[in-house]
Structure 1
Amino acid sequence: MKNPTLHIIVNPQAGSGNAKKTLDITRAFITKEEVPYHLYLTEYPGHEKIIAKELMETVLEPWHDDKVLKTLLVVIGGDGTLHEVINTLASQPLIPVAYLPAGSGNDFARGLGLTRKTKKDLARLIKVTKPTPIPLIATQFEQKDAPQLVLNNIGIGLDANIVSTANNSKTKDFLNKIHLGSLAYLASIFHVLKEQHAFPVTFDTLGEKKHFKKAYLCSITNHPYFGGGVAIDPTANIKQAKMSVVLLEKVNLAVLIYLVIRLLMKNHLSSKYIHHFVTDQLAVTSTHPEFCQTDGEIVGKEAQVIQCTMTSRLFWI
């Protein structure tokens, strides 16, 4: 079967420049395989949304079982770039999206079981004959007009605070230029551990309410991973169309270090300080202003009221 024409959106800044290497490998591979393509490089934050919207309105088509796919959108970048693209295409979930991970975390690729090795992922991509529906979390924030699709997770508290602190770090741009951007997040962890306080949060799952007075970190996740490969819920499976909630209570530093060790060993869920449940519908209420992030992007610092359900869209994997 003839390969569709690839329309490739690339964020060259992703992964502290790793996306450029991924692009070079991709161009060499598809040129050798004689796969037609068009290339679109993002030039500033948010540019990927403008490109994706224009492509959606001009050349991209929804998948139909009885038609040959003529065009395929490919995203090269990190989870943040992919997050923006799929939200731009939210009204067209039947337009397939292919993904070549090139960020610093690549948690969505881990959750999908992609190799994260560009040549192997490209060899798989050109052999795909039909798209696969992949579950995502659909969220509606009370403070936001538009709903939002989430690839990986929603974080309230500690992890969102770390993301915000790192993103606003004066040294982050410098570290990114020398390909050590992850150090900004490492430095932020030690700073935030001291200042993050406990906060109240309530979960409502189809009428059953769970209230916690001393939440420290709350992660609502679509698959096992967050933070660049940390298995916050080793039992989660992206194909099950369920969201996992993992909540850590505020503890002293010694207990926190012990829990981090258990987290790295993937046996932390049995701790009395960690609460875990699975659902396909969820309402989250946090009355105290807290940082909140989705797929590594800060939503804001405010009291949070969030409605979460499961949905899906087509990916070419």
Structure 2
Amino acid sequence: MSIYEDLGIKPIINASATLTKLGGSRMPREVLEAMNAAAGSFVDLPLLQTRVGDRIAELTRNEAAFVSSGAAAGIVLAVATLMAAPNEPDPMAYPMLEGITKNEAIVFTSQRNGYDFAIRQTGASIVECDDTLESFESAITERTACLVWFAGALAVKSPPIEDVIAIARKHRVPVLVDAAAQIPPVSNLWHYTKVLGCDGVVFSGGKGIRGPQAAGLVLGTRELIAGCRRLSSPTQGIGRPMKVGKHYRWHSRSGSAASSPITTKAIGLFSRRWSPRNRRMATSRFISPV
């Protein structure tokens, strides 16, 4: 009898996707072993967050990285940081926004969704623009903190992200991408930031990465990640409820990217369970050196 059946719950066969309501993904044995190893000691959590973030940034080819308690939590902390920029964010300023004048986030009409609340939780207002470049540019004002772009199926009716980023740069508007479910391919870990030039990108840790479901990644500029760290638990303020445990922040001690649960090993273990055709495609497209 399984641990779930002890509670009168029958495990199900997931023929859908890495949905939160179904428990996300299944973690590989190596990840579970790493979590158990990390759980056995006390540690300075802010220091651990910094050191693990530095290592993840190196593995994912980013300036900086932050482990969040899920993708939605990453959106909250990243948007709050961008609202205060170029100043250091005050954890106690949200959601009343005392002293914060950049209190608007732009979202394209076709991309509006339930995760709007992660933006609004900061106290920011959402400014909706039509799915045209002209509408986006006209929505930019001195109150604009950022554009939040929801990648994947929600973005298919929006203008090309490259053109959107060009306009945002012209007006010095930061771009934050919600790419929670956009892995694989593993190259997306650096595509939005290093290739396209977005300020930050958020991923779920419990979907394609196959880590703990209540974990996520924020990748981007040093300034953005420094703000997320300042706002996050155990600091009192907006990020205090978004706690990430020590066993969610583990990374490879061997120095090898291939042995890190959050990068190529996670994707590699996932791809080996696919069909031969998909396995060949994964090898050529997804398992790039990190």
Greater relative CO, 1 or 2 (CA 8 Å, sep 6+): 2
Common fold by TM > 0.5: no
Question: Which structure's residues are more often strand, by fraction?
Answer: 1
TM-score, with structure 1 as normaliser = 0.28
